A and B are shown apart, each in its own frame.
Chain A
């Protein structure tokens, strides 16, 4: 069961109260008029799907309604960072995290 403390309303939210929003930090091509097919394909379809630490977005959908960002391990489900949407992930690496 995924349990996340929302960084906006500060409540501990369970899976039933959350909506998963996929990979965090996907950027729409800055100038759509000149973006190539390859850039559009990357943006629309290609996804980071790491076996290990992954940065993703979740919505506190049954609570305050805010989207926020999470760094989670896709094998252990350990949570390393939970951030407001305008904050940037810090580059932490925990020594004993091991390979997945």
Chain B
């Protein structure tokens, strides 16, 4: 194996020799007959789970099975906003742990994820929302999360293109979490994949899980498009396809699969130096390092597994963005796409044990699980390795629905979806 570290020196050396010396960042092995742990889903959460199983628990006999290519699901389709402004203390603890792990990512995995903590701004449009802004400031500070309120004048300085006095959705103020921002999404999948591969973990792409072989309440083997693979335990991190896997394993989930769309404009000069959301209009936007404006939407109506949405959503997003930033009206849209997200009634994730005794799940992140990838991997790895919930995951088990102990962030922090 051996580390081929990325550094200024290796960059210079490779640059001078025509970049022909780079090695593949991970292998493409054929599946073995059996693994101690099989992870289904090669998105960020699945790959991070494999990495933490090796790093925290010393388990290396692991395969990650991905039906397409790694990061080709929501991990490579999201608008890349990261933040930890959740209200319940158990949520804030979990999401802030994720942000801290992201802050350490480059050091730990020798992979530049382009973490840009340029600030996460939540806009408020009327007097009632300004009261909830003060509420939000309080709960964030109680949770030990950085937060400040910006008035119109401060906003005008921070976001010069914003037309705060627009007649349709006037902006009265905002809450800023300075540690929030964006990350290059593919890099998260690639960084964990490279790290996991170097621990000896097999990442197997183009390998679709089609069914399970069961003995009693355990799964003993997994039927895939590349043959049958034996296993001692299974981790599932397939986001919008969670119900499909649960059906195969014979249990039900409180999940509906929905299409969430995003879009980018052509690249323009730097104009927007924060990542931001306007919950009232449902639009969230940031500008990439390449200059494109990335804009995210609300969910399309109806359950869907088709990774494409309708034009009405695109229109709504563009309308809100242009109302807030009249100058954006000159830019053309370049691409738009959809991802299938796993929506649960309380907008909080489901982590850990399932009715199948050796199958553990990580799902329910819905429209907001990119920011949580490191902690999602950490928590699922803990469940698989110890058969107990990670301390941060105790409130987020599947059993919370039977016990009627929801963690309703949809209501609490007003998650837009």
Report which residue of B301, B303, B345 has the largest number of chain A beta carbons within 10 angstroms of its beta carbon. B303
Q: Is B257 an interface residue (CB 8 A)?
A: yes
Query: Given contacts A46-B253, A51-B305, could you give 11 more A-B pairs where the C-beta distance is less than 8 Å?
Result: A15-B310, A19-B301, A20-B302, A42-B252, A44-B401, A45-B401, A50-B243, A51-B241, A72-B302, A74-B306, A75-B305
Q: Which residues of B contact A76 (CB under 8 A)?
A: 306
Q: Which residues of A contact B402 (CB under 8 A)?
A: 37-38, 41
Question: Smallest CB–CB gap between A55 and chain B, Å?
Answer: 11
A56 touches B302 (CB 8 A): yes
6 inter-chain pairs at a CB distance below 8 angstroms, sorted by A residue, are: A19-B301, A37-B402, A45-B401, A47-B252, A49-B244, A49-B253
Ordered nearest first, which 3 A-B pairs have the shortest CB separation? A49-B243, A45-B254, A1-B310
Q: Which residues of B contact A51 (CB under 8 A)?
A: 241, 243-244, 257, 305
Instruction: State the CA gap A39–B343 with chains docked (Å).
Output: 21
Instruction: State the CA gap A15–B256 with chains docked (Å).
Output: 19
* Neighbour of A2 across the interface among B243, B253, B310, CB < 8 A: B310
* Neighbour of A47 across the interface among B256, B302, B306, CB < 8 A: B256
- Report how many residues on chain B are interfacial, defined by Cβ distance under 8 Å: 22
Q: Which residues of B contact A41 (CB under 8 A)?
A: 401-402
Q: Which residues of B contact A44 (CB under 8 A)?
A: 345, 401
Contact with B along A57-81 (1 / 0, CB 8 A): 0000000000000001011110000
* Neighbour of A20 across the interface among B241, B254, B301, B311, CB < 8 A: B301
Q: Is A6 an interface residue (CB 8 A)?
A: no
Q: Is A82 an interface residue (CB 8 A)?
A: no
Question: Smallest CB–CB gap between B90 and chain A, Å?
Answer: 19
Contact with B along A2-38 (1 / 0, CB 8 A): 1000000000001110111010000000000000011
Q: Which residues of A contact B302 (CB under 8 A)?
A: 2, 20, 56, 72, 74
Q: Is A54 an interface residue (CB 8 A)?
A: yes
Q: Is A100 an interface residue (CB 8 A)?
A: yes
List B residues 246-268 near A (Cβ within 8 Å).
Answer: 247, 252-257
Instruction: State the CA gap A45–B304 with chains docked (Å).
Output: 18
A46 touches B252 (CB 8 A): yes
Q: Is B312 an interface residue (CB 8 A)?
A: yes
Instruction: State the CA gap A75–B312 with chains docked (Å).
Output: 18
Nearest opposing residue in chain B for A41, CB measure: B402
Contacts A45-B401, A72-B302 known; A15 to B312 CB distance under 8 Å? yes
Q: Which residues of A contact B255 (CB under 8 A)?
A: 47, 49
Number of A-B contacts (CB under 8 A): 67
- Report how many residues on chain A are interfacial, defined by Cβ distance under 8 Å: 28
Instruction: State the CA gap A100–B257 with chains docked (Å).
Output: 14
Question: Smallest CB–CB gap between B261 and chain A, Å?
Answer: 12
Q: Which residues of B contact A49 (CB under 8 A)?
A: 243-244, 253, 255-257, 303
A46 touches B310 (CB 8 A): no
Instruction: State the CA gap A47–B257 with chains docked (Å).
Output: 10
Instruction: State the CA gap A42–B247 with chains docked (Å).
Output: 15
Contacts A45-B345, A51-B244, A74-B303 known; A16 to B312 CB distance under 8 Å? yes
Question: Smallest CB–CB gap between A86 and chain B, Å?
Answer: 22
B312 touches A1 (CB 8 A): yes
A74 touches B301 (CB 8 A): no
Question: Smallest CB–CB gap between A57 and chain B, Å?
Answer: 11
Report which residue of A20, A44, A50, A74 has the largest number of chain B beta carbons within 10 angstroms of its beta carbon. A74
Question: Smallest CB–CB gap between A47 and chain B, Å?
Answer: 5
List B residues 169-228 near A (Cβ within 8 Å).
Answer: none
Q: Which residues of A contact B311 (CB under 8 A)?
A: 1
Question: Smallest CB–CB gap between A91 and chain B, Å?
Answer: 20
Contacts A15-B312, A16-B312, A76-B306 known; A47 to B301 CB distance under 8 Å? no
A15 touches B253 (CB 8 A): no
Instruction: State the CA gap A76–B302 with chains docked (Å).
Output: 13
Instruction: State the CA gap A20–B221 with chains docked (Å).
Output: 39
B256 touches A75 (CB 8 A): no
Nearest opposing residue in chain B for A36, CB measure: B402
Nearest opposing residue in chain B for A19, CB measure: B301
Instruction: State the CA gap A16–B312 with chains docked (Å).
Output: 8
Contacts A16-B312, A37-B402 known; A46 to B254 CB distance under 8 Å? yes
Question: Smallest CB–CB gap between A79 and chain B, Å?
Answer: 11
Q: Which residues of B contact A38 (CB under 8 A)?
A: 402
Contacts A51-B241, A74-B303, A74-B305 known; A22 to B256 CB distance under 8 Å? yes
Nearest opposing residue in chain A for B252, CB measure: A46
Instruction: State the CA gap A14–B255 with chains docked (Å).
Output: 26
